[in-house]
A and B are shown apart, each in its own frame.
Chain A
Amino acid sequence: MIRVEGIHKWFDDFHVLQGITEHITPGEVVVVCGPSGSGKSTFIRCINRLEDVQEGKIFVEGKDVYSSDVDINQLRADVGMVFQQFNLYPHITVLKNVSLAPIKVKKMSKIEAEEIALALLDKVGIYDQAHKYPAELSGGQQQRVAIARGLAMQPKIMLFDEPTSALDPEMINEVLKSMIDLAKDGMTMIVVTHEMGFAREVAKRIFFMDYGKILEKGTPEHFFKNPQHERTKLFLREIL
């Protein structure tokens, strides 16, 4: 599904990703955690080519993400993404936020796209907010709109970059619930998060990143009970 082969990335002379090789299978939910600045965001942003890499390759469903003849828009349509800061479009309604890409990229009719959008909004529990503007919604609601927007293209993979970090504590659970539902539906997901409860419940594997490398990885069991690496232990002590 996703094959990452020895990627290295530099921001000028800062070596942010220092050789990552991974294989993520269909339906797998992977949680990525690690200290701030360790390269987690950069790593998942490489998967839909929001960032370039200088070495190595990434294949999504067999397609070479960095090859010059890949249809990057098509590829991105298959990979939904949810950001820490929601990044909804403030000038259009929630419904239009969700239906924009299906209409413009898939050339779906407006009626069909809005039908799908409403079904997704219903799924994340904000059907009744469809005609509001993003600024009129709470943070938790906005992030659920962002999830619906990510799902609207019927992607095969969803990437989440700290989707609950910008939320007030009382709104975190409503967003996690939508993500757990999605995981249970069999979506392939890579989730950067420090919500270890979420990791325990749905992650098949947890990656611990530090200094641009995946230092440790394993099932939640292994990860929480028997962390091997000193830095993982330190990190878990701080976070749990």
Chain B
Amino acid sequence: MNYDFNWMIVLTGEYRDWLIQGLVITLKISGISIVLSMILGTIITTLRMTGIKILEWITISFIEFFRNTPLLIQLFFWYFGSDAVLPDSVNQWLYAHNYEFAVGVLALTIYTSAFIAEEIRAGIISIPKEQLEASRATGLSFVQAYAYVVLPQAFRIVIPTLISQFLNLTKNSSLAMTIGVMELTYMARQIESYSFRGFEAFTVATLMYICLSLIISLCINIYNKKFLRMIKY
């Protein structure tokens, strides 16, 4: 233990800027993926609940497949395999833009949406089926009944578990460094290899992740308190 701590090196100058750039990328990749995975997860669950057998079969396969394979493998799969599985036009668009970032968003979104779909489904199951019935009886279509009656109630119930999915996603975004997304972990690693100040760099990065998690929890709790009206049947 005769390591000579040097915090200033990562809290000033170029290395500090790298960490901040990394944090910004982490925020971006997580934020975009959270929104997209919520949308995708909601769509998947709604399709699953239609009672149409083929849709049920497809969505269950999707969920089980992506929940039960490692995220790292999925990242590599999309990164190295996008040529093979995505349409040419999509690939061209990806290459023209930030390919690594887009693949990172794609992988995180699909992986997390599988978990979110299951959480939302648990919420839907806890809503009395009479809610769907009463709204269908007024002439609302299945999708409308879900959009305006069933899902808003289900979301309120599953907010705590959704928070943990958002936090998982934010932490999981560090894996995107393996495909070259220059997010927070990537930058800390970068500082380590330039300066051999790995301990300081990773400590600061860790603190940033913790702050980020706390902020996400806090925001959603505020939302929760504000909008969680008394739901009684």
Q: Hey, which bits of chain A sit against chain B, CB under 8 A? A: 48, 50, 73-74, 76-77, 79-81, 83, 85, 87-92, 100-101, 104-105, 133-135, 149-150, 152-153
User: Which of B104-155 touch A at CB < 8 Å?
Assistant: 128, 130-131, 133-141, 144, 148-149, 152-153
Complex Cα gap A187–B148 (Å): 29
A/B interface sample: 8 pairs, CB < 8 A: A50-B137, A79-B137, A87-B130, A89-B131, A90-B231, A91-B231, A92-B152, A100-B149
- Interchain nearest-CB distance for B103 vs A (Å): 38
Complex Cα gap A115–B74 (Å): 53
Q: Contacts A91-B153, A135-B232: A104 and B131 contacting too (C-beta < 8 A)?
A: no
- Interchain nearest-CB distance for B63 vs A (Å): 26
Beta-carbon nearest neighbor of A88 in chain B: B134
Q: Are A101 and B139 in contact (CB under 8 A)?
A: yes
Given contacts A87-B131, A105-B139, list 7 more A-B pairs with CB under 8 A. A73-B140, A73-B141, A74-B139, A88-B134, A89-B153, A91-B229, A135-B230
Q: Are B231 and A76 in contact (CB under 8 A)?
A: no
Residues of B within 8 A of A135 (CB): 230-232
Q: Are A104 and B144 in contact (CB under 8 A)?
A: yes
- Interchain nearest-CB distance for B42 vs A (Å): 16
Q: Hey, which bits of chain B sit against chain A, CB under 8 A? A: 128, 130-131, 133-141, 144, 148-149, 152-153, 156, 229-233
Q: Are A81 and B137 in contact (CB under 8 A)?
A: yes
Residues of A within 8 A of B233 (CB): 85, 90
A-B contact count (CB 8 A): 75
Complex Cα gap A133–B232 (Å): 10
Q: Are A50 and B136 in contact (CB under 8 A)?
A: yes
Q: Are A89 and B135 in contact (CB under 8 A)?
A: yes
- Interchain nearest-CB distance for B152 vs A (Å): 5
Q: Contacts A89-B149, A105-B144, A133-B229: A153 and B131 contacting too (C-beta < 8 A)?
A: no
Complex Cα gap A149–B134 (Å): 10
Beta-carbon nearest neighbor of A84 in chain B: B130
Q: Are B136 and A76 in contact (CB under 8 A)?
A: yes
Residues of B within 8 A of A83 (CB): 130, 133-134
Q: Are B131 and A76 in contact (CB under 8 A)?
A: no
Beta-carbon nearest neighbor of B155 in chain A: A91
Q: Are A87 and B138 in contact (CB under 8 A)?
A: no
Beta-carbon nearest neighbor of A89 in chain B: B149
The 6 closest A-B pairs by CB, nearest first: A77-B139, A87-B134, A101-B138, A135-B232, A105-B139, A81-B137
Complex Cα gap A87–B139 (Å): 15
Residues of A within 8 A of B141 (CB): 73
Q: Are A101 and B140 in contact (CB under 8 A)?
A: yes
- Interchain nearest-CB distance for B146 vs A (Å): 12
Q: Are B156 and A91 in contact (CB under 8 A)?
A: yes
Residues of A within 8 A of B128 (CB): 87
Complex Cα gap A79–B136 (Å): 11
Residues of B within 8 A of A88 (CB): 134
Residues of A within 8 A of B144 (CB): 104-105
- Interchain nearest-CB distance for B149 vs A (Å): 5
- Interchain nearest-CB distance for B50 vs A (Å): 14
Complex Cα gap A90–B149 (Å): 9
